[in-house]
């Protein structure tokens, strides 16, 4: 007798993990590692709790801090080689390649830890990490208006290269590099995701929002961007006809007047209220804005879908409506 839910099982959850939750850009060294390990423990506990409740799970994750670090390493290497050789001509890999790299590194870390826990619990699910490409529009206005923060917080703005775009979001304590974040159109590898779910796997996919590509008459081509993982997660939840979408992030719920003396927590928020708060500027682009837009997209496309935001470790309580923030009709 297996405890792996069959494809005909009525419930499926898409669980989105924040890149900042896995690696706080405000922390460094041992403090950052300790915080990341604690978050990972809570994330994996959430996933196992869902599985033990008979709910199949598809996991997505962000990569803002991690992809920025990799890009910074590449640029630092090029700077050193320019000094060493006057004939050096840099050929950068591009953000699409570094997104793919973080799908591998973070996917390996999450899958290995989850596999070990599932084995220790005597469960039979296997974790499959899928390199996932996501189509975007080459004419998306986001390419000329970068808002997606990546990499660490910048300590010295005077040392920033002139070609960088810098932004500050309401969840950061300092400036960070920002890049284009076009909206996802379709998930190229959706059939493979569906097949893995049907085989009973816990699927890790669309890491870092997916590898951004454009589709044209010559085929598929990677582009310089980082897609928001919450928007991709919402698209994925709708396309899979999931029952639950959980946006897991570093804060315990949606806040109004965030960071002010009047800050207050929201436990439920209707579609019309969420739209009004967006119009009022409560949820800025580059921080909570894309999360709320993603939640709205999912709820409007599938009114039966349960859509919640919560911190890692609170997913069961969020499902019950006693933690986090849930979007209602």
Give, in degrees to the nearest 5, the angle at Cα 286 between 285 and 291: 75
Question: For residue 16, which of 36, 46, 41 has the smallest C-alpha distance?
Answer: 46
* CA distance linking residue 205 with residue 226, whole number of Å: 15
Q: Which of 68, 107, 148, 207 is catalytic?
A: 148
The reply to whether 229 belongs to the active site is: yes
What is the length of the chain?
329
Catalytic residue list contains 20: yes
| Active-site position among 18, 20, 107, 183 | 20
Determine whether 299 is an active site residue.
Answer: no
- Tokens 């599985």 belong to residue: 51
Catalytic residue from among 151, 167, 229, 324: 229
Q: What is the DSSP letter of 173?
A: S
Question: Helices then strands (H, E): number in the chain?
Answer: 9, 17
How far is the C-alpha of 196 from the C-alpha of 235, rounded, in Å? Answer: 18
Q: Determine the longest span between alpha carbons in the chain, in angstroms.
A: 66
Q: Which two tokens stand for residue 50?
A: 């869902």
174 is catalytic: no
The span from the CA of 253 to the CA of 269, in Å, is 11
- 149 and 172 Cβ atoms separated by less than 8 Å: yes
In which element (H, E) is residue 307 found?
strand 306-310
CB-based contact 23:32 (threshold 8 Å): yes
The answer to whether 148 is a known catalytic residue is: yes
* 8 Å CB contact between 282 and 274: no
Tell me which residues are annotated as active site: 19-20, 148, 229, 291
């Amino acid at each position: 007798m297996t405890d792996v839910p069959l494809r005909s099982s009525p419930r499926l959850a898409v669980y989105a993990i924040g890149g900042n939750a896995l690696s706080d850009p405000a922390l460094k060294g041992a403090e950052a590692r300790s915080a990341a390990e604690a978050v990972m423990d809570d994330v994996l506990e959430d996933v196992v709790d869902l599985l033990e409740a008979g709910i199949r799970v598809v996991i997505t994750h962000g990569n803002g801090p991690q992809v920025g670090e990799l890009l910074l390493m590449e640029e630092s290497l090029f700077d050193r080689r320019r000094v060493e050789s006057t004939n050096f001509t840099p050929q950068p890999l591009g953000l699409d390649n570094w997104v793919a790299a973080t799908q591998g590194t973070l996917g390996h870390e999450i899958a290995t830890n989850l596999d070990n826990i599932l084995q220790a619990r005597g469960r039979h699910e296997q974790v499959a990490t899928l390199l996932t490409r996501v189509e975007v529009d080459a004419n998306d206005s986001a390419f000329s208006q970068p808002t997606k923060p990546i990499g660490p917080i910048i300590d010295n703005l005077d040392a920033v290269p002139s070609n960088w775009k810098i932004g500050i979001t309401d969840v950061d304590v300092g400036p960070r590099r920002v890049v284009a974040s076009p909206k996802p159109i379709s998930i190229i590898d959706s059939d493979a995701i569906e097949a893995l779910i049907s085989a009973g796997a816990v699927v890790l996919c669309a890491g870092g929002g997916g590898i951004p590509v454009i589709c044209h008459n010559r085929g598929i081509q990677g582009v310089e961007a980082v897609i928001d993982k919450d928007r991709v997660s919402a698209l994925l939840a709708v396309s899979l006809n999931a029952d639950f979408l959980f946006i897991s992030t570093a804060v315990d719920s949606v806040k109004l007047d965030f960071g002010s003396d009047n800050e207050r927590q929201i436990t439920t928020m209707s579609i019309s209220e969420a739209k009004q708060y967006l119009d009022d500027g409560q949820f800025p682009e580059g921080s909570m804005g894309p999360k709320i837009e993603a939640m709205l997209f999912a709820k409007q496309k599938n009114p039966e879908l349960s859509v919640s935001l919560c911190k890692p470790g609170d997913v069961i309580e969020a499902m019950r409506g006693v933690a986090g923030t849930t979007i209602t009709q």
